[in-house]
Amino acid sequence: MQEDGKGVPCDVATSTSLSEDGNNAVDENEYVANNDSVLSESNQPQDTSTEVALANTVWIANAPNDSEREIDPGLSGDSATANSNEKSSAQGEQRTPEQIRRKAVGHQAAIVWGFFLVWAVLQVLAGIFGSLGKMDSPSLDAWINLFTEPIAVLVVLLATGTLSRSKSTEGKANYHCAIRFSSRKTITWKELLIIVVTVTAVSAVGDVFGSGFQGLLDMFGLKQHDTMTEIDTMVNHSMIGLLDVVLIGPVIEELLMRGIIMSALERYGRIFAIVTSSLLFGFMHGDISQGFAAVLYGLELGWIACEYSIGWSIAMHIFNNLVLAEGLNALFAMLNDPMSSILEAVFDGFFIVLAIALLICNRRKVAAWYRDNKTPRHTYRGWQSPLFIFTLVAFGLFALSRIGF
């Protein structure tokens, strides 16, 4: 996948079939009022028809108990609505809220596997035909990624219904994309500056972790398969490789992780959606150092997509790969090794301290946002999905397999 080791939030429409559950949401107070009305009517002395009595019996039998009807008073906004929608869906489908969440999380893990399956098949086919030509390996890899990644995400968009086709009354084909690119609110220059600083700080934290992890491996005589070296080789051999890393890759990853996966989970709480999609985003890189940075990037890019739009998360992802990764790497490579290391350490330290200072200055806004988007209780039990657990374990083992002597 793409380069996220240097330099990483949702107003996107729900894209999978899970969004259909939201249409069944019932106001809790109205539900209780109707239920009480039915109970009072059933206690009236006058006789009613057999059909009405049967209807009352069915209504009372399906009515939720107090624990099912409870909504956390600490929730507000989208989180409270999502909690109510989830319980209404569970009633309608005769499943517990925990089962609904596990199924939802499992669906998103399946989307990740579906993307990689399509991408792998296309890679094999493209490699077979590409090997017939006279093209060196890095250039061939760049051309293959340039075509296989967009096709794979297009297949996922169609399969999940995020991209749909319909016919108008005149018989013309109309295409609709459920991903919302328009901004929820206008971003100010001050907010943009804070985002740039924090994205750069995340890059710096990723660098520090990568250096520290490599130092730990060196102590035991181990080394990690360097994904960044492979990417740099591909970029240095052709402009197509650079285009894939700094433009195609960020767009594809944002459409998949924030546009499809995170938006499908947002109805269960924004924070839950951001964290869950970030974990999948980090583990799917199959690299411990790069994956750690990708999890952090996923948290910030998810917040950007939630607060502003997926368009801004794509822009920041491109900024990370183009400026913080390729740009700074090229700049530091022009300097001698001691000077390069010193400048990189100063650069990383400066932006980490600056980001911490900005967070402290805006701590009340951060705390208010957390309260407004608090995840409903027990929502994280959705992580008990067997497919979600299997996905994290499989990609984690693959990352560990890249470490050797």
pLDDT tens for 227-244 read: 776 777 777 667 888 888
pTM score of the predicted model: 0.76
What distance in Å separates the CA atoms of residue 64 and residue 69, rounded to the nearest whole number?
6
Tell whether the model's pLDDT for residue 369 goes beyond 50: yes
Mean pLDDT of 3-30: 42
Q: Using 50, 70 and 90 to split pLDDT, how confident is the model at 31? A: very low
Q: Looking at beta carbons, which pairs linking 17-23 to residues 24 or more positions away fall under 8 Å?
A: 17/160, 17/161, 18/104, 18/107, 18/264, 18/267, 19/178, 19/264, 19/267, 21/85, 21/86, 21/88, 21/89, 21/92, 21/93, 21/100, 21/267, 22/85, 22/89, 22/267
Q: What pLDDT shows up at residue 321?
A: 93
Q: What pLDDT shows up at residue 225?
A: 77
Q: How far is CA 345 from CA 52, 206, 229, 341, 352, in A?
A: 76, 12, 20, 6, 11
Listed range (41-50, 132-141, 258-267, 383-392) with the worst mean pLDDT? 41-50
Rounded to 10 deg, the angle between the 310-319 and 288-307 helix axes is: 140
Q: Write out the two tokens for 107.
A: 């669906």
Amino acid identity, residue 249?
G
Tell whether the model's pLDDT for residue 391 goes beyond 70: yes
Q: What pLDDT shows up at residue 9?
A: 42
Alpha carbon 130 to its chain's center: 32
- Tally of CA atoms within 13 A in the half-sphere of 296 that contains its CB: 21
* Contact present, 136 and 130 (Cβ < 8 Å): no
Q: Using 50, 70 and 90 to split pLDDT, how confident is the model at 170? A: confident
Mean pLDDT of 93-100: 81
Q: What pLDDT shows up at residue 186?
A: 86
What distance in Å separates the CA atoms of residue 260 and residue 115, rounded to the nearest whole number?
12
Tell whether the model's pLDDT for residue 114 goes beyond 90: yes
Listed range (131-145, 175-189, 247-261, 267-281) with the worst mean pLDDT? 131-145
At residue 167, the 3 state secondary structure works out as strand
Q: Using 50, 70 and 90 to split pLDDT, how confident is the model at 336? A: confident
Q: Write out the two tokens for 273.
A: 């959606």
Tell whether the model's pLDDT for residue 122 goes beyond 60: yes
Tell whether the model's pLDDT for residue 269 goes beyond 80: yes
Tell whether the model's pLDDT for residue 62 goes beyond 90: no
Tell whether the model's pLDDT for residue 378 goes beyond 90: no
Q: What pLDDT shows up at residue 43?
A: 46
Ranges 236-245, 312-321, 371-380, most confident? 312-321
* Contact present, 402 and 286 (Cβ < 8 Å): yes
At residue 329, the 3 state secondary structure works out as helix
Tell whether the model's pLDDT for residue 178 goes beyond 70: yes
Residue-averaged pLDDT of the chain? 78
Q: What pLDDT shows up at residue 47?
A: 47
Q: Using 50, 70 and 90 to split pLDDT, how confident is the model at 338? A: confident
* Contact present, 268 and 378 (Cβ < 8 Å): no
Ranges 36-45, 62-71, 199-208, most confident? 199-208
At residue 14, the 3 state secondary structure works out as coil
What distance in Å separates the CA atoms of residue 328 and residue 307, rounded to the nearest whole number?
28
Tell whether the model's pLDDT for residue 73 goes beyond 70: no
Q: Which of 22, 35, 77 is nearest to 271 (CA)?
A: 77
Q: Write out the two tokens for 184.
A: 């929820």
What residue spans of 5-96 are helical by DSSP H? 28-42, 50-62, 66-69, 78-93
Q: How far is CA 99 from CA 95, 378, 386, in A?
A: 6, 11, 12
